Structure 1
């Protein structure tokens, strides 16, 4: 509108100036070209491109070029024999507009929401039928695309006729029939995604160590979440090809100071507006990026000992000074920072956030770990019943290689079947020292150095216990990798976040550097199956509930200024093993990345658990499996269990046998973010059979008796309005998989009315919707983005028909109790119940 007004204002001024400078010229020229030529001669030459001589053409009225459209009067029962008008299909006009060729000259496209001339030209007007907000959206979208491709004087202009031409039925202004549907359609047609800003990740080098693996996996996760990422490398390393396989890599270590500053400024101009600076070492190169105007979020993992060892104090101060936010990985790091920084250095900046588990073990979720146990012992060449202590990482003094060797000597003396394996590179001097000690202790053949091995799944899952022997370790990812597959951890207390995490929950924290106590703790876990099993179960639950890498990445994006809606997908499953691959693939393919996937298996007797365990490593984010040993007796109890566990702002109850289009969740989440009063948003669903064949393109045949128009356009309504228009008559939301809920509101309803809801077998979802909409509004998206699978032997089809009928009556009664209804709605509900009773073949009620 502003663009149009600006153009009109400029043209008006130019017209006045031209009129003042020229005489009025009377032209007797019915030919348009002659008229324009006369005007041009009088007012001065302007750039003319059209044959007729005009600078720009405007399609007005938008329906003008329709004389050749075939009238469809015969389809209607016209009773006035003198009627001389014409009835035309609006949809044909939209199709023509969508296929319109590019004009030779400058053209402003015209669009109209509808047209009916009978008000102004009674008995002889043109009437366009089948106009709808959705058809108008398609027309406007095509016109907007044309305007973008063919701007006029640098502006992208579209003419819409009209805001409020009520006389001719051409109006966008809200009314009682369509509500805000035409305005929603206008927004949808014009909402072109802005190019998203890029972000960069700064890694201090590419050596195969913990912090570098975190950086690599963070890039991978951000790419999965559709973020445009570039990598800044301060030093070289073996992982450089792995980074390059994911994103562009810029080698800062090849630049001098002037080149670095110029690069940072160029990076900002290329669209990068934020940088994640991983580790304290990044402080050595962060200043140019801050100076270039990039937002900086730094990740600090180091404890004071390592910072002092590598003289990183100046880098730490520079990093904190340049950062908008400083993410601290553990309480131990936080306490260490307090000893190295001024008291207020982190005020308003510090965020305490462990990084989450970024690895994917093929054994995660399995309780039978006999296969990796056998494979690990085969790989080491030891007995199948040997006890194995594992440690992974760079073998140096900080990681406690020497301490573990001494504790191993003590433990091996009392347990002949005990073996220790260390996976990873080593520091030569420390390794030489430890080798000499092991030879002297007589256990060199029982302490195995496996070297660098990128496939560590068999090690973690096949070991009896993980030995974290570090003198200091801020928050080692190896602890999470161990706990995720049920391997308990033994650590020295007070040495970092890993020891703090497992103490009393998933392992044993021994007083710092008590080697005798450490050896006994290793033996206790190895020998006591009951203790090991308890720690294993606690460790798995801890990782599943608190250490999602997807949530960690989302937290960083939020700190970087990216507002990504948090959506938890809840997948209730019972004996749908054969649909799970398609279902989980659809969840992973959402254009809005999901926060978490919670699969709730209700004691399936098919291969569901085996299939889920096989598929979970292929899904993003990795699903959390919650299994009931006994069937809950109601899918609505599973709803409640899932919503309670969910962490997202929104929840999606994605039934295991349904399917989805990639853009569904993004579409619904955006609508709910735009209106905080909306507690549920849903889209149109197609109906498919058990094999995936389409039974119906949508559910409009089901809702047409309520309104042939309401479910063909987007709308937002209050609970009272929704009940009035149909939800008090029948369940107008046929499939919960098509719905996105606001979690807090849904949880409130499920907890407050649990017993009522679970008493229903068919209409429980309808009861939820009725009660939920007493708390807020509903939004409907007319695009078919969900596929509802209809089974011939579904719960609904096999139910006692009388009970089904009674539940419908009960839901209708609840609607009357909750909302004020018009007599017409109450009558429609009674009529629907009567028709349903007849369809079920039930005897008429007395």
Structure 2
């Protein structure tokens, strides 16, 4: 039996969880089962150089309808067995192409967040949310990251038989093989670290509010933010207003955050919403526990086992839990290791291969 021809598509390969997951899949898929091709609206991003050399990359170019017209032409030219899309609203637009595509091409999408929470926050959110149900009912399969996400997508009328729960893959062995890594910090312990784009959804303003409380009781603590984005100036101004600017480090984009995770005392997740934050898995794989808001879409954090969860948006609870975590018992290395085994890359990729090569 020949390998399944799969056309993967995503807007770009900028830094983000969905992009990292896609790179992991393209790297580890068995070429005897799947022949991948990648189509990008914009062929840029920090992960572009990580695409395996045997994966052809097509830059669609253009914006709006032009990019999707070019994607449709590529589908007709390639006639793949599967079109596989990532990112929630991009998935909606790709699925709208299905009636125009050759018969027999399966459309599979992977959701990266809960649509009812994510879509309304975007420009023209009401329209995006109106388009979501009819478009996603066309999918041959929808990959969700958690049971909560499965329930939400089913609630908009998608056939539950088409919903598949596959967790995010994590190359645990590669992460552990790199340890111990050099310590990148100039500050002594305790160190708190967070990573992600400096955008409102990541909730760094909430984290700074919580850290101000932490710093008042632990003046030796420092907070390290790995990422860049449009909120940088506002966050620096907020840190100054809170009188913690001398304890907060803005490191900008960091190509390899693993040393920062490994040598931190805690990883803190303060997003206003998340699908299933892969970055917390990476922190756990380096042996660092996580303090996180509790997201309705699902979280790898098991309270008291590999970290701690607090109610979403509750900065007082976040500060209190950080202080307790710094001074109290920590999760054991065995508990941290066991909690991420379900995400081992070979196991997860095998599930994707079964889906991509199925009927």
Shorter-chain-normalised TM-score: which range? 0.7 to 0.9
- Work out which of the residue numbers 99, 110, 121 in structure 2 matches 1:309: 121
- Superposition pairs for residues 623-638 of structure 1, below 5 Å? none
Please state if 1:464 is matched with 2:273. Answer: no
**2:326 equivalent in structure 1:** 526
C-alpha distance in structure 2 between counterparts of 1:333 and 1:240, whole Å:
28
| Secondary structure, aligned partner of 2:262 | helix
Residue 197 of structure 1 deviates from its aligned partner by 3.2
- Work out which of the residue numbers 321, 342, 345 in structure 2 matches 1:549: 345
> Does the C-alpha gap of structure 1 residues 409 and 225 become closer, same or farther in structure 2, counting only changes over 3 Å?
farther
**1:346 equivalent in structure 2:** 159
> Does the C-alpha gap of structure 1 residues 354 and 256 become closer, same or farther in structure 2, counting only changes over 3 Å?
closer
C-alpha distance in structure 2 between counterparts of 1:259 and 1:359, whole Å:
37
Residue deviations 1:777-814 (CA, integer Å, cap 9, x gap): xxxxxxxxxxxxxxxxxxxxxxxxxxxxxxxxxxxxxx
Asked if structure 1 preserves the Cα contact closer than 8 Å seen for 2:169 and 2:344, the reply is yes
The unaligned stretches of length 5 or more in structure 1 are 1-193, 564-846
Residue 249 of structure 1 deviates from its aligned partner by 1.2
Please state if 1:403 is matched with 2:206. Answer: yes
> Does the C-alpha gap of structure 1 residues 210 and 326 become closer, same or farther in structure 2, counting only changes over 3 Å?
same
- Work out which of the residue numbers 208, 214, 224 in structure 2 matches 1:421: 224
Please state if 1:274 is matched with 2:82. Answer: yes
Asked if structure 1 preserves the Cα contact closer than 8 Å seen for 2:291 and 2:321, the reply is yes
Residue 216 of structure 1 deviates from its aligned partner by 1.6
Asked if structure 2 preserves the Cα contact closer than 8 Å seen for 1:364 and 1:484, the reply is no
- Structure 2 length-normalised TM: 0.87
Asked if structure 2 preserves the Cα contact closer than 8 Å seen for 1:296 and 1:560, the reply is no
> Does the C-alpha gap of structure 1 residues 258 and 538 become closer, same or farther in structure 2, counting only changes over 3 Å?
closer
Say how many residue pairs are matched.
347
**1:208 equivalent in structure 2:** 15
Asked if structure 1 preserves the Cα contact closer than 8 Å seen for 2:294 and 2:312, the reply is yes
Please state if 1:300 is matched with 2:111. Answer: yes
| Alignment RMSD (CA, Å) | 2.6
Residue 412 of structure 1 deviates from its aligned partner by 0.7
Asked if structure 1 preserves the Cα contact closer than 8 Å seen for 2:211 and 2:319, the reply is yes
Asked if structure 2 preserves the Cα contact closer than 8 Å seen for 1:298 and 1:319, the reply is no
- Work out which of the residue numbers 76, 94, 98 in structure 2 matches 1:265: 76
- Superposition pairs for residues 56-75 of structure 1, below 5 Å? none
**1:774 equivalent in structure 2:** none
Residue 507 of structure 1 deviates from its aligned partner by 0.9
C-alpha distance in structure 2 between counterparts of 1:494 and 1:242, whole Å:
30
**1:389 equivalent in structure 2:** 192
Residue 223 of structure 1 deviates from its aligned partner by 5.5
C-alpha distance in structure 2 between counterparts of 1:314 and 1:360, whole Å:
42
The unaligned stretches of length 5 or more in structure 2 are none
Asked if structure 2 preserves the Cα contact closer than 8 Å seen for 1:460 and 1:487, the reply is yes
Asked if structure 2 preserves the Cα contact closer than 8 Å seen for 1:471 and 1:495, the reply is no
- Larger of the two Rg values belongs to structure: 1
Residue 257 of structure 1 deviates from its aligned partner by 5.7
Residue 420 of structure 1 deviates from its aligned partner by 0.8
Residue deviations 1:227-258 (CA, integer Å, cap 9, x gap): 32100213343244443745111223445665
Asked if structure 1 preserves the Cα contact closer than 8 Å seen for 2:172 and 2:285, the reply is no
C-alpha distance in structure 1 between counterparts of 2:171 and 2:280, whole Å:
12
